[in-house]
Structures are given as structure tokens and as C-alpha cells.
Structure 1
Amino acid sequence: MYLIPEPKILTIKEGFYYLPYCGTIEIAPSCSQKAYGFAKLLREDITGELGFSYGIVKGNKKGTINISVREALGSEHYLLKVGEEGVYIQGGDGNGLLYGIQTLRQILRQEGACIPCLCMEDYPVLPNRGFFHDVTRGRVPTLEWLKKLADTLSFYKMNQMQLYIEHSFLFPEFSEMWRDDTPLCAQDIMELDAYCMERGIELIPSLSTFGHLYKLLNTKRYKHLCELTDAGEEPFSFIDRMAHHTIDISNEESFSLVKQMIAEYMPLFSSGKFNICADETFDLGKGKNKDRALQEGVDVLYMEYVEKLCGFLVENGRIPMLWGDVMLDFPEFANRLPEGTVCLNWGYAYNQTEDSTRIYAGNGVRQYVCPGVAGWNQLLNLQRNSYENISRMCGYAMKYKAEGMLNTDWGDFGHINHPAFSIPGLIYGAAASWNGSLPSYEDMNKAVSFLEYGDSSGTLLNIAGRLGEQECFGWGNAVYWKEKGSKTDVSKKKEVLTEVVERVKTIPEKNREIDMCVQELTGCTKFMDSTMRKRIYPYLLVAEGMKLFNRIGGIVVSADAEGRVTEDVFQAAEELEKWYYQYKLLWYTVSRESELYRIGEVVFWYADYLRDLKGLQEEESYVVYR
């Protein structure tokens, strides 16, 4: 039996409790009204998984499943006992009850109505366990999918969620910013907030307010507020969108504008926290504030602005949160921020060091560690990188007494990866932040394969992890070559191609491994419940995309370095366009239109690029990397 996170104390006893086909879930009178919503989740599973008929009652009589509060246990702490006479769940508070119920749901998913007698006690080592999802730089998910994400978070005992917003919220007075997008609206946020609360999740607002304001600072109305003077003059670029567009902090209109956005967005959430982001302010002091930066220092400029924003939040009864990358250069200034401000200390390398966590701890900074699911700029997430990164960061959180973990899922370069590919990393984060450590990569994947995907062979995620490692010319490489390498600048071409020229030599080997992974993933369907088999399809689709882009990488290197092409470029272009059609259909199953067209622009550019190479094609001997 697999349980995620693994419980601290679990004793399996002799015997079983056989759930009757008709029974009751009894809530003790001391429980709050929230307990009824949690009990409904359990009843829905009993009905959905088993077809049994269960009612929910309140009282002190003996039910089939009995739920009660025992405050002595402490926050989020629970006990679960299964004996031959029934099931008993005690929670130290409402969330403790919820987590006991979620554990019972995991057991029912595997054991059905025949539950082994057991005694379990569990509690988290980190009080704040969150997931941060980018809904602005490419994908704006459907509300239905966001609710499913909340369900998954709750199932694995996470208690916070943030949605990253730059321009993808419908601020009524900022239509020029979101007019070509499909933004979330106030009703979406309020409905999701209520849905999250019912599942023990705090939905925390996250709004870009300093750097990363590409669309706001490219509008005709507000481009004068950009630190750099040429805002809005360059054509769109995925790379430049990430690198520029910091607000002019010396212009009082900037603060008034951002304050207006915060004031409009903040009331939609029940949370008492607000993330102002304030990360990667690359251009600060390089344009309109250059003289001030030289005289006073960039650190002073940065702190001046974030202090004002944090002060505004405190005035409105909110706890400020902000990313810690910029302030890491002057951590001693953190004590100038309002008391209680949370520093979100991010680091995404698979071999991430403890330096930033140690530095902030040494300066008395309240912090969450923030690892990532390693999906950005990838067709398929790098699962092993994610596992290593999350495991390390949660270990540092324990060592330096951080207050929480916020696991991140960014959407750089259009959020090309299907959101479902981030679920394994999400679950790694849930388990690591609950226990402070993880089982081995292989064992963790076996458990997730079985519990989340219904794969009784336990092999699905280890195969998917191998698949994600087979890119030679990935989406990030494709974007860089289109936007930088394909230009006439010889030094830029060399810079871009140097990274991939050795890797493309392994294309035949990599693409054969992709074919092997596809065969093995398809074979997993034999071991999966019929309701779960459809979750294999996105992996198979993306595997084909990886092969195509690997082939394109080989063509790019061959054409640029050797002045010849040994592939049928027309065929490659047609295969790419047909693949993109299927990719679009998958996109619409979980996402609004949002910025799909920007991904299409990259795909179509490559299709045209391939056809333009016809003159270099050696027609007598095609070499096809399949």
C-alpha cells in the first residue's frame, strides 16, 4: 500500500474492516462546518469508487466512519485508526481532519472496501506547503483545470496555491494590456478561492509589480513608465520579454498605478497574504534611473520601491511576500521591510546549494524555500532534476528552519509543456515538504505511478523521466535559434550552436530511445485502470514532438555549419505542422486560447525555414533521424 506523503507512524495490524454497502460518516458535534465539506469528499469517493451508499450525520453515535477533533494533537496533526468495528479519524484542527480523510481516500483507492486494520499518526514538518503556477506567460488554464489542480494539491496535503499574473487578469481599466489574451476575471478568482477554501487551500494573490511587466509597459498608455526609453519599439521576443520591462520607480505615477492594481486585485482573495513578486529587475538603474543608481546604488532604489509596496499591503492588513533573488545581494537590508514579510527564496538547479537559504537565515529573514518542477522551456519536464532540486531545497528548509516551501511551475517561452507533466514534481514537493525528505527517485516514482496514475506495474514515471532526458534540440534551443542564432551576427550564431552541436551527434541514439519509451509507455496501459489510460496520450504526443525538434536541430547544424542538408525538408515541415495540429487539440483540453498563437509562430517559422533550405538538400541520400 502506497501513501503519499509517507506517514510518520504506521502500524498494520491483523485483520480487516469490511466497509458495509450502506453506512454513515459521523461528524462529532465539536467539529466546525468545514468538516462537512471534507466528509463530502470522502462520501463522493465511496460512491464513485465503490458504488456504496453513505450518508453524513452529526452526533456522538457510532458511525461507520467517525470524524472528531482532538485539539491536543496540534495543527494539521491527525490520527487514523481502522479496527474491525469501524474507522476513526481525529484531527488537531480542521486541516488535520482533512488530511486524515485524504489518507483514507488514498487507502480506498488501493484497497477498495477491504481496509487493513491499522493505526496511523501523522503531521507535517513544514507548516506552509504551496504550489506556484504561472498563468500568464503562455497558458491561461481553464477554471475547470485550476479546480482539478486544487483537488490534487489537497489530496497530497498541500495548503497553499498561487497563480502568477502579469497581464492575464481582466483589470477593467487596462484593456490595452489584455485585449489579445483570454484573461481570468474577478468571478473566476472568487470562485476558485472559495473552491480552494473548501479543500484546505489558501489561494494567495501573486501579481508582478516591479520587473516582468512586458505587456503593461508596452501599452501606448503606460510605456512612458518603463525604466528603458524604447519600450514598445521592438517586435515581440520570448527572450526579451523575460529580460526587460522594469518599471520606473522614480516616477510617482508608477507607484500609483501599481497600487491601483493591487487594490483592485487584493479583495478577491480571502488570504491575508499578497506576493508582489519584485524579482529579476534586470533593467533597474540602467535607463531613467541611471544617475540615481550611480549616486545611491541599485540596492537603495530597489528597497525604496519594495518598502513602499510592502507598506501599502500592511496598511491594508496583508502580509507581504516577494521573491528573494534581488535582495540576496544585500540581505542585510531585509530588516527594513515590515515585520512578517516573507522572502520567497528560489533556486532551481538539480545541484542547488544551500547558500541562499543559509544567508537569509543568518540575517533573520522569514523565508520559504522555492524549488521547481523543471518544466519551463521543455516539451516534457525533467523529472529527475525536479526530484533532486526539491529534495535539496526541502532539506535546506529543515536545516535552516524555513517556514515553508513554495514549489514553482513557470511558463517561460510560452508554457509549451502540458500542465499535467508538472504533477509528478508537484507530488515530490508535497511529500518533501510534509516529511523534510524523500524516498529514492525510483521508489518515489513507483509510488506516484501506482497512486496517482493507477499503474499497477509502477513503471510509468520512471519511463516518463527517461523520455524527458532525450532532447537534443529542445524548445528552449528552438526559441533561441529563431530569435538570436538565425540572425546574421556570426558571434551570436556560434554562441547558440555551441550548446547543441555536440548533442545533435546523438540524435539517432536519442530518437531510438524515444521510440523505446513510447513503446513502454503504451505498454503501461495494460496495467492501468480504464479511466486512467488517457493520461498516457500527452506523453506519446510530446514524444513525437521531441523527435521532430531533434531532427530539426540536426538540420539547423548541418545547414549552418556545412552548407548542406541530407533530410527531406518538405517532409519534415509537413510532419511538424501536422504534429502542431494535434498539439493544439491537447492545449484546448486544459487551457484557454491565451498565447497559443505565439507557439504557433515558432512552429510555422521552422516549417518555413525548412522549406527555404530546399536548395541545400542533397536529394540522392536523405538521412532521417527517426
Structure 2
Amino acid sequence: MSYKKNTFEYLIPRPVEIKEVEGQFRISYDTKIVLLESTDSSDYNSALILKGYIEDKLGIRLEITRSASEEDVSKVIILDRSDDIKEEEGYSLNISDDKVIVKARTKRGLLYGVATFRQLIALGGALIPACEISDKPVLSNRGFYHDASRGRIQKLSSYKKLADLCSYFKLNQLQLYVEHSFLFKGFSEVCRDDTPLTAEDILELDEYCAKLGIELIPSISTFGHLYKVLRTKTFEELCELDDPRDSEFSFDQRMQHHTLDVTNEKSFEFVKKVLDEFLPLFRSDYVNICADETFDLGKGKSKELADREGVGKVYVDYVNRIMEYCINKGKKPMFWGDIIVGFPEYAKLLPKDVICLNWGYSDCEKEDNTRKLADVPVRQYLCPGVHGWRHFINHFEMAYRNISIMCEYAGKYHAEGLLNTDWGDYGHLQDPLFSIPGLIYGAAFSWSGVSEETEINRQISRLYYGDREEELMSVARDIGMLEGNSWDQLVQFIELIRNRPAAQEAKEFYGRLKVNEPAENNKRIDEKLDDLRLLITGVNDEGKALINRLLLFAEGQKLMCRALYQLGCKLFDKAQNHDECVRIAAEIETWMYHYKKIWRITSRESELYRVEEIFYQCADILREQNVNLIIK
């Protein structure tokens, strides 16, 4: 029995230097994990992680011990702290017939060396090829940003698994996006229909991340994107716009509103209170104040001020107040850069050491914004995305291209880091498992540079999903590319119909969606789903979980396209097939039953009810025979 191809070519991220040598290390019942005296107490966790991994993957329970020297022991896996490794997060991994030696100068470096050895176990089992590996990252700050607000709040156990994954692929920062989804004091009205994060959740996750070498950085909306907060009676007076509660909840409107009223001093008191309560839960020296997409600024209560001083100046002045407050509390601010790139001259007015999170999500993203900020200059992270938001299934090909481009710009313009984003627009319909390939793209490229798409997909299929055919990611990519209409289009259309628009307005909106008869495209999806079914017995547990999610979500995608098409026939063409409409309605309800079971495996109830409401309203319209009750 032999290794398929070269075991080392599947390592993610790819190490800087790999030298293959003669020999093989055999993990056996009497193998020991040895901490040399050079290590400290925090390195015991690295030994525990390795021990747990070997027991899980191989069924072999090793013992951990300490030794004064590596000379006196054999058949061991040695963890060693050494100043011979100069880079902060660098490591060396030397494997011979009788020893494995992981050497690093820092705790993180040791964790990363252990991670590489764990990957060799995943690829080779208990028989590991001998080698000499030397490694270090291209970017010093490598992060993942996960939306924990706009629909889906996961269970604490799920966030811990996310941290495990980040550490395994050598990411060192994690942020959870919070708008309204933390149980602040005085937030009883905000959270009464939700399942928010608590102080204990954050404290426990922060501790868990620290053991994995991950900095959990607080991220909290302090300016824009406060739709749910400012629609409550408790906080509505702080809203830039009058009467923020004058319409029912809308996923689409939440993407556009609401912004704090900068002319009301109580708004700043609100921001200070939130920061005072949130920041002490984190050991990080950083805080992301967000301050992005302040679309309402200057359009309501601050209009007079904005007309007089300019929207850009009003924005920078208020952000400066928030940043100075954070700095006085000993925190280094980060903020999203979408507003400041429009007014780069004002960037010079910001505190010197703030970090601008420069996001761009196009698969052909231009370098203009990165160059503008570099010219100021402003410290910046480049922020691409995993492209799952607004879809049933992530667009893996978009994620690859977007992340690749932004990693290249990060190198060209000397950015300080990469923060790869996973947003939850329109209720966070997509399953969190679909974001893992994008997470891996970002981890791989920020550590060792960009690789070719088919190569990284083949590596992910083999290493992470255990697919010896190396085809799983290729099939998943193809399924995502077969999307007809997107989830946000259904949401926008249902929310429009819910308001009973004029027939002509509804018809024009529907025309912009470009809905086609979906039978042929759905048939192509079915063919790809059969490819998945053939792969399912040849993958590991992670691969099976991905395939099962793809099978379910692709069926949801097909159903939605059928529903949108029949809605158009029903509402506008008058050539409706009522029996087909009723049939689709029933299939939607059955699909939602299974979707909710999957949601509840990893996530709290959070806003699941809002997602199902869209589907059920769609089913109700399909069943309705009197079109006049639906539109004017």
C-alpha cells in the first residue's frame, strides 16, 4: 500500500520549504508526546490538542511527558521552544524514523507546527513520511470574520468548532459581527424575540480562542447598521430618521438602515455604554467599531449639519469621537473603510494607528481603494469574502477569485493583514459549513501566497473532506454556479408583494429579476447532485456533512426557482397552473421542515422564524386563487 501522489502537496497552507528524506515515522501504542524543558505551561495545550487528534483519527491514546533533552528519547513526538527559529510564528518540523521534532520560538509557532503534523496524520494515518519542513507566514495578521447578527446566531459549541478550524489552518484572529445580538443591559426589548450571545458566552469563547493562539477581537456596530436596535421604543429617539418603527420588519430595509443621530448627545452616551460593557469581555487590545454603510447620515436629523460641513466631515468627526473613547480605554480601533475611501483626504484626521478594514467583494475587484489608502497612508487590512450571503449555496468560484485578488493587493501595497468575511445578509440562509472552503482559501493565501483554483480545490477535497477522488470541491463549485435566481431576489419580491403594490410596479420589479423557466437548469443541478451521491461513501465525516447540506440546499434552490417562475405566471401572465402552484407550496413546507432541523444542529433559534416566514408567505401566495388579494 502506498501514498497517493505526494503526501506533502496536500498540506494547507503550503509550507515555505519541504525537504523529503528517507524514512517513515510510525505512530504506535508506546509513542510518547514529549514537552522539553524549553516549553512553558501554555504549550501543554499544544500537546493535548495533538494527543486528542491522534486518538480521534487513529484510535491510539498517547501519553504526554516532559524531558530535559531530546537526546535520551526515541519513538517520540517532541515539542520544543527554541530561539533558533527567528520568525514570530515560524516553526520547523523534522520527521525521521524514530522522532518527530516540532520546534518554534513562540506558542503560536508551536501550535502551527503541530497543525502541520496533524495534517500529515490526516493524509498518511499512523505512517508519516520523513521530512524537514521550515515555515513562516507571508502576512502576520490572518483573520476570519463571521456574521453573528443578521439572522443566525450559532451555538457556543459551533463557535468553538470555528475557532478549532481557524487554528488548524493557521489563522490567528477571529471576529464575530454584532449589531443587536448581544444581551446588553437595557436590551430586553431589542432581544425579546431573539436568542442573543451573553457575557459568559464571550468570556468562554475568548478563553477557548486564546488556547488556540487566536485573538478574539470585539466587533460591534457603533454608528450604522443598527436597524433592529433603533426600531425599538427604547432607542428610537437615537435614530437619524424619524419614525423608524413606521413599517414592519424587512430584510431588505435592514440592509439599508438605521444610523445613529450624531446631533443627539444621547447617541454617543449609548455608544459609550455599549463599549463599556462589551470591551472588558475580551483580552484583545483591538476593537472593531464597524462604522460602515451609514446610508442615512445627513438625510434626517443631521441634514442641516451635513449641508453645512459636508457628510464626509460629519462622518469622520463622529468616528473620531468613538475612536478616541476606545483609545482612552486602552484599545486600538479598527473600522470598515467603505465610507472613508470616498473621502480619503479626511483619513488624515483619524488617529494615527487606527486600522482601516478595506473591503471589496468583486471577483474582479480593482486596486484603487487599496492604493488610495496606501497613499494617505493608512494602516489597512484587505477584506474579501466567502460569497455565501444572499444565496442558498456559496459561490466558491467567486470566493476564490475575490480572495486571490485581495491577497495579491495585500502583498503589493504592504497591508498589515487579511480579514476574510462571512456575512449573513437576508437572514443568513446559507449553512455555515458552506463557508469553510472560503475560510481555507483565505488561510492558505494569507500564509503562503495564492495558488491555482483547481489545485487548492483538489487539496481541500483530499485533506479536509477525505475525498481520495479529489472531486468534491469541483462538484460543489459547479452546483453553486448553476444558481438561477438568488435568495435575496425572492425575499425582495415577497416583501414587495406583502405590501400589495400596484400591478405595474410589481410586474416591472419582477421583470428586473430575469426569471426563466427553471426545468432545464434544475435538471443540470440534479446531474451534479448524483455526482455527489457517488462520492459520499468515499469521504470523511466533514465530507458527508457537506454533501448532505448540498443535497438539501440545492433542492431548496430548485424549489425557489420553480416558485418564482410560477409566481410570475400567476400574477402577470394569467397562464397559471394552479395545481403546480399548490404542489410547489407543499414542497416548500416540507423542505422547510428539514431545513429547520439542519439549522438547529449548529445554531440557536435566533431569527429562523423570519426566514421561514418568507417561505411560508411564498407558499400562501402560490395557493391563493384571487390575485387581486395579492396586488392592487
How many Å apart are 1:485 and its aligned residue?
6.0
What is the aligned partner in structure 2 of residue 287 from structure 1?
A: 300
Contact 2:464–2:542 (CA<8 Å) still a contact in 1?
Answer: no
Measured in 2, the distance between the counterparts of 1:492 and 1:393 equals 39
Measured in 2, the distance between the counterparts of 1:41 and 1:525 equals 28
What is the aligned partner in structure 2 of residue 8 from structure 1?
A: 16
What is the aligned partner in structure 2 of residue 68 from structure 1?
A: 80
Measured in 1, the distance between the counterparts of 2:554 and 2:146 equals 24
What is the aligned partner in structure 1 of residue 35 from structure 2?
A: 27
What is the aligned partner in structure 2 of residue 457 from structure 1?
A: 469
Counterpart among 455, 472, 481 of residue 469 in structure 1: 481
How many Å apart are 1:536 and its aligned residue?
1.8
Question: Deviations along 1:186-218, whole A, 9 cap, x unmatched?
Answer: 000000000000101000000001001012111
| 2:52 aligned with 1:44 | yes
Counterpart residue identity of residue 394, structure 2: N
Counterpart residue identity of residue 529, structure 2: V
How many Å apart are 1:490 and its aligned residue?
5.5
Counterpart among 229, 237, 245 of residue 224 in structure 1: 237
What is the aligned partner in structure 2 of residue 619 from structure 1?
A: none
How many Å apart are 1:474 and its aligned residue?
2.3
Measured in 1, the distance between the counterparts of 2:405 and 2:544 equals 33
Measured in 2, the distance between the counterparts of 1:113 and 1:308 equals 57
How many Å apart are 1:532 and its aligned residue?
4.7
Question: Deviations along 1:315-343, whole A, 9 cap, x unmatched?
Answer: 01100000000011111222222221000
How many Å apart are 1:230 and its aligned residue?
1.7
What is the aligned partner in structure 2 of residue 131 from structure 1?
A: 144
Contact 1:374–1:386 (CA<8 Å) still a contact in 2?
Answer: yes
| 2:230 aligned with 1:240 | no
How many Å apart are 1:531 and its aligned residue?
7.2
The range that moved more, 428-437 or 329-338, is 329-338
Question: Deviations along 1:343-383, whole A, 9 cap, x unmatched?
Answer: 00000111111111111111110000000000111110000
| 2:335 aligned with 1:322 | yes
Counterpart residue identity of residue 61, structure 1: S
What is the aligned partner in structure 1 of residue 532 from structure 2?
A: 521
Measured in 2, the distance between the counterparts of 1:105 and 1:412 equals 35
Measured in 2, the distance between the counterparts of 1:128 and 1:12 equals 29
Counterpart residue identity of residue 154, structure 1: S
The range that moved more, 563-572 or 141-150, is 563-572
Measured in 1, the distance between the counterparts of 2:250 and 2:354 equals 34
Question: Deviations along 1:6-29, whole A, 9 cap, x unmatched?
Answer: 111111122212223212211222
1:74-93 correspondence runs (5 A) = 74-93=87-106
Q: How many residues are aligned here?
A: 613
1:164-563 correspondence runs (5 A) = 164-437=177-450, 439-484=451-496, 487-489=500-502, 492-501=505-514, 503-505=515-517, 507-529=518-540, 532-563=543-574
Question: Deviations along 1:294-325, whole A, 9 cap, x unmatched?
Answer: 11100111011110100011001100000000
How many Å apart are 1:494 and its aligned residue?
4.9
How many Å apart are 1:109 and its aligned residue?
1.0
Contact 2:507–2:572 (CA<8 Å) still a contact in 1?
Answer: no
Contact 1:472–1:500 (CA<8 Å) still a contact in 2?
Answer: no
Measured in 2, the distance between the counterparts of 1:292 and 1:615 equals 47
Counterpart residue identity of residue 7, structure 1: P
Contact 1:565–1:613 (CA<8 Å) still a contact in 2?
Answer: no
Measured in 1, the distance between the counterparts of 2:550 and 2:601 equals 15
Contact 2:38–2:82 (CA<8 Å) still a contact in 1?
Answer: no
Contact 2:36–2:80 (CA<8 Å) still a contact in 1?
Answer: yes
How many Å apart are 1:489 and its aligned residue?
4.2
Measured in 2, the distance between the counterparts of 1:485 and 1:70 equals 66
Counterpart residue identity of residue 413, structure 2: Y
Using structure 1 for the length normalisation, give the TM-score: 0.95
Decide whether aligned partners of structure 1 residues 24 and 471 sit closer, same or farther in structure 2, where only a CA change above 3 A counts. Answer: same
Contact 2:570–2:627 (CA<8 Å) still a contact in 1?
Answer: no
SS in 2 for 1:53: coil
Counterpart residue identity of residue 590, structure 2: K
SS in 1 for 2:14: coil
Measured in 1, the distance between the counterparts of 2:206 and 2:142 equals 17
Counterpart residue identity of residue 19, structure 2: T
Measured in 1, the distance between the counterparts of 2:504 and 2:294 equals 27
What is the aligned partner in structure 2 of residue 577 from structure 1?
A: 589
Counterpart residue identity of residue 427, structure 1: I
Contact 2:95–2:130 (CA<8 Å) still a contact in 1?
Answer: yes
The range that moved more, 300-309 or 14-23, is 14-23
TM-align CA RMSD? 1.6
Contact 2:286–2:331 (CA<8 Å) still a contact in 1?
Answer: yes
Counterpart residue identity of residue 603, structure 1: F
Measured in 1, the distance between the counterparts of 2:380 and 2:545 equals 39
Counterpart residue identity of residue 464, structure 2: E
How many Å apart are 1:492 and its aligned residue?
4.3
Residue identity over aligned pairs, in percent, reads: 44
SS in 2 for 1:163: strand
Question: Deviations along 1:529-558, whole A, 9 cap, x unmatched?
Answer: 367524321111111101101111211232
SS in 2 for 1:67: strand
1:110-129 correspondence runs (5 A) = 110-129=123-142
The range that moved more, 294-303 or 486-495, is 486-495
How many Å apart are 1:114 and its aligned residue?
0.9
Counterpart residue identity of residue 139, structure 1: R
SS in 2 for 1:524: helix
How many Å apart are 1:491 and its aligned residue?
6.2
Decide whether aligned partners of structure 1 residues 132 and 495 sit closer, same or farther in structure 2, where only a CA change above 3 A counts. Answer: farther
| 2:620 aligned with 1:608 | yes
How many Å apart are 1:455 and its aligned residue?
1.3
Contact 1:569–1:613 (CA<8 Å) still a contact in 2?
Answer: no
